[in-house]
């Protein structure tokens, strides 16, 4: 396994497309010529994406951080090995650690999600969680993982590796507890850590983190209902067996894209075609991360699906990590900051906040436990936008970091974090915005939850899993080899639909590359207000609307079937909620 930690570099094949200052002159050209030129440039961008993907895989898929770093600890060398490592961020542009860091401030440990993609989403550009933490003067540490798990790696192995990482940061900064920043899946890993290691960390920041897998209305989580209709965790087990003990993260990425295809697939590519002269670089930047598919061990994916997604054992206090380690979220005494978005249909606010009412029946119980929970909701940004959007990093994440002392000084209770008169100063200077913490009541959260239907799903999943393990799994394991697993991996639609545009796979793309070079020399796009361009944009938007209508119908059908089988406590049909960017929410 290639465990190189060099910063991924992509061959700089071509400079950005030149947009002439005399673009209006392009208004004299026929629309068909302009559309043909954009189509060639669009295909050439897909060619670059394919080549970037192939190059990244050949490099061993190192983390896509836009910051210099040094490796401190590699969990491959631990007594209980895992494919995780701890990095220290050492340089931001021309500024090094000594220039940026105030050692009196608490260190920030950012843990990226391991949910199909590689690490780096929290720091793959300057306006990011890493960038804001460095601008605020915090020592910054980043937890990464390698493409391949240690054979037989379990959630407990990962948990103990993370605990050792936190201990190392505490050793380096003994005067202040570190701030744990958990993104998505890494958020629940962070809560596991805090529940097991009471007093070891400072504030915990959970960004788009699902902790209440049974909370929320049915239409807020069609992926959850689809998992129920396919019978539970046995499908993940089967895919792991076909992968020779490894679960291909491309399956998770595919689920994210099909969850809202009009955004994640159509709008992303339609916008590139329409604005290919200006969108190429941003498209390629995000796709370098999105198309880096990592794997999980069979034990990990089954632990995640059985204990969390389907079993909901974390919220119920029934999750076990090893023989002598049980997790109870009530043991967490550190302040908790929850950042969720109403536009997130992967982790809607109900799943990010529902656990509070399950742990504490009312606000008095929360206060009696001495706990401080602060939550903040964004109105529209999608799931990945919580971690990726530069505007979110410059405002919300900056405000969180600047408010850590205020959060720790709060009396026990539940608070909503509200930002007034926001400034989005990209230079991270003192901005004219105010942060206030409004006391809130647990009852005010108003999160619906009926565990009966999903408890049935969990029971059916256990039955199907037992049957599959007994009657099918042994045969698939015997028939699978490393060669067959690698073939299935290469043939996954999330890979070949990308790599097919590389000239290394498709010789015709060399002609596209040559033609694109020629076009760039004299390219003068039609102005945005050209009548034909306006008609084209309207047609692209109409197609997106049609896909949205189809997706809503699909979700309504799934909700109806789910209700017919398990009993639907939420209503009959899915409503058109959470229509913001999901798998492609890198827009600001």
How much is the average pLDDT of 576-581? 39
How much is the average pLDDT of 526-553? 96
Q: Using one digit for the tens of pLDDT, what is the confidence trace for 368-381? A: 999 999 999 998 88
Those residues with Cβ within 8 angstroms of residue 410's Cβ, 6 or more apart along the chain or in another chain: 335, 372, 374, 437
**Do the domain assignments include residue 187?**
yes
| Distance (Å) of CA 24 to CA 120, 275, 283, 526 | 40, 16, 25, 7
- How would residue 223 be classed by pLDDT, with cut points 50, 70 and 90? confident
CA distance 109 to 163: 12
**Do the domain assignments include residue 467?**
no
Q: Which of 302, 308, 311 is nearest to 451 (CA)?
A: 311
How much is the average pLDDT of 199-212? 87
Contact 189, 304 (CB under 8 A): no
**Do the domain assignments include residue 226?**
no
Place of tokens 């916008």: 271
* 3-class SS string, 331-366: HCCCCEEEEEECCCCCCCHHHHHHHHHHHCCCHHHH
How much is the average pLDDT of 83-103? 83
**Do the domain assignments include residue 108?**
yes
- Of the ranges 183-197, 523-537, 562-576, the best mean pLDDT one: 523-537
- How would residue 432 be classed by pLDDT, with cut points 50, 70 and 90? low
CA distance 504 to 329: 51
Tokens of 542: 């109409």
Its domain, for residue 360, covers: 68-219+330-448
Q: What is the DSSP string of 33-65?
A: HHHHHHHHHHHHHHHHHHHHHHHHHHTT-----
**Angle at CA 110, nearest 5°, toward 108 and 116?**
175
The count of domains in the chain is 1
Q: Which H or E element spans position 271?
A: helix 268-274
**Do the domain assignments include residue 76?**
yes
**Do the domain assignments include residue 480?**
no
Q: What is the DSSP string of 202-215?
A: S-EEEES----TT-
**Do the domain assignments include residue 268?**
no
Quick one: pLDDT at residue 391?
84
Contact 320, 553 (CB under 8 A): no
- Look at residue 2 and tell me whether its pLDDT is greater than 90: no
Task: Name the H helices within 201-259.
Answer: 222-229, 234-242, 250-259
Contact 419, 437 (CB under 8 A): no
Question: 16: burial class by Cβ within 10 Å (0-12, 13-18, 19+)?
Answer: exposed
**Do the domain assignments include residue 433?**
yes
**CATH at residue 193:** 3.40.50.1820
Kindly report whether the global pTM for this prediction surpasses the value 0.95. no
């Amino acid at each position: 396994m290639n465990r190189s930690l060099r910063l991924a570099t992509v061959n700089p094949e071509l400079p950005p497309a030149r947009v002439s200052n005399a673009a209006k002159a392009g208004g004299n050209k026929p629309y068909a010529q302009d559309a043909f030129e954009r189509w060639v440039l669009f295909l050439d961008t897909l060619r670059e994406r394919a080549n970037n993907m192939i190059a990244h895989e050949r490099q061993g898929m190192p983390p896509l951080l836009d910051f210099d770093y040094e490796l401190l600890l590699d969990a491959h060398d631990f007594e209980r090995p895992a494919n995780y490592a701890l990095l220290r961020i050492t340089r931001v542009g021309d500024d090094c650690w000594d220039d940026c860091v105030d050692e009196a401030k608490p260190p920030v440990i950012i843990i990226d999600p391991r949910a199909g993609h590689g690490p780096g989403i929290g720091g793959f550009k300057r306006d990011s969680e890493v960038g804001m933490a460095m601008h605020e003067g915090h020592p910054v540490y980043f937890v990464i993982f390698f493409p391949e798990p240690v054979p037989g790696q379990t959630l407990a192995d990962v948990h103990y590796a993370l605990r050792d990482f936190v201990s190392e940061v505490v050793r380096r900064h003994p005067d202040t507890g570190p701030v744990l920043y958990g993104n998505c899946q890494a958020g629940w890993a962070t809560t596991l850590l805090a529940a097991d290691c009471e007093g070891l960390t400072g504030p915990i920041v959970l960004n788009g983190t699902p902790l209440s897998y049974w909370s929320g209305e049915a239409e807020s989580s069609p992926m959850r209902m689809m998992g129920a209709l396919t019978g539970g965790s046995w499908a993940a087990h089967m895919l792991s067996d076909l992968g020779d003990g490894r679960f291909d993260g491309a399956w998770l990425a595919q689920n994210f894209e099909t969850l809202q295809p009009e955004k994640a697939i159509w709008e992303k590519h339609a916008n590139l075609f329409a604005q290919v002269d200006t969108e190429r670089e941003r498209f390629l930047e995000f796709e370098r991360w999105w198309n880096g598919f990592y794997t999980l061990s069979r034990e990990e994916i089954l632990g995640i699906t059985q204990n969390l997604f389907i079993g909901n054992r974390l919220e119920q206090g029934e999750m076990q990590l090893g023989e002598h380690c049980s997790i109870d979220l009530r043991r967490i005494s550190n302040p908790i900051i929850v950042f969720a978005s109403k536009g997130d249909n992967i982790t809607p606010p109900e799943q990010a906040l529902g656990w509070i009412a399950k742990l504490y029946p009312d606000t008095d119980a929360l206060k009696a436990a001495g706990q401080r929970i602060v939550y903040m909701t964004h109105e529209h940004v999608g799931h990945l936008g919580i971690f990726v959007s530069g505007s979110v990093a410059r405002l919300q994440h900056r405000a969180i970091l600047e408010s850590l002392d205020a959060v720790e000084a709060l009396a026990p209770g539940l608070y909503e974090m509200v930002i007034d008169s926001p400034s989005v100063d990209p230079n991270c200077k003192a901005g004219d915005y105010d942060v206030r913490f409004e006391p809130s009541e647990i009852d005010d959260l108003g999160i619906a939850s009926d565990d009966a239907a999903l408890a049935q799903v969990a029971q059916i999943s256990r039955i199907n899993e037992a049957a599959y393990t007994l009657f099918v799994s042994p045969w698939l394991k015997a028939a699978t080899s490393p060669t067959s697993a690698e073939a299935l991996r290469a043939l996954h639609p999330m890979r070949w639909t990308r790599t097919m545009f590389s000239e290394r796979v498709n010789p015709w793309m060399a002609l596209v590359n040559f033609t694109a070079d020629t076009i760039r020399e004299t390219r003068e796009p039609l102005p945005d207000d050209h009548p034909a361009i306006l008609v084209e944009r309207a047609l692209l938007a109409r197609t997106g609307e049609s896909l949205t209508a189809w997706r809503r119908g699909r979700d309504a059908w799934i909700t109806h079937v789910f209700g017919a089988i398990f009993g639907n406590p939420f209503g009959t049909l899915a409503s058109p909620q959470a229509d913001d960017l999901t798998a492609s929410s890198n827009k600001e």
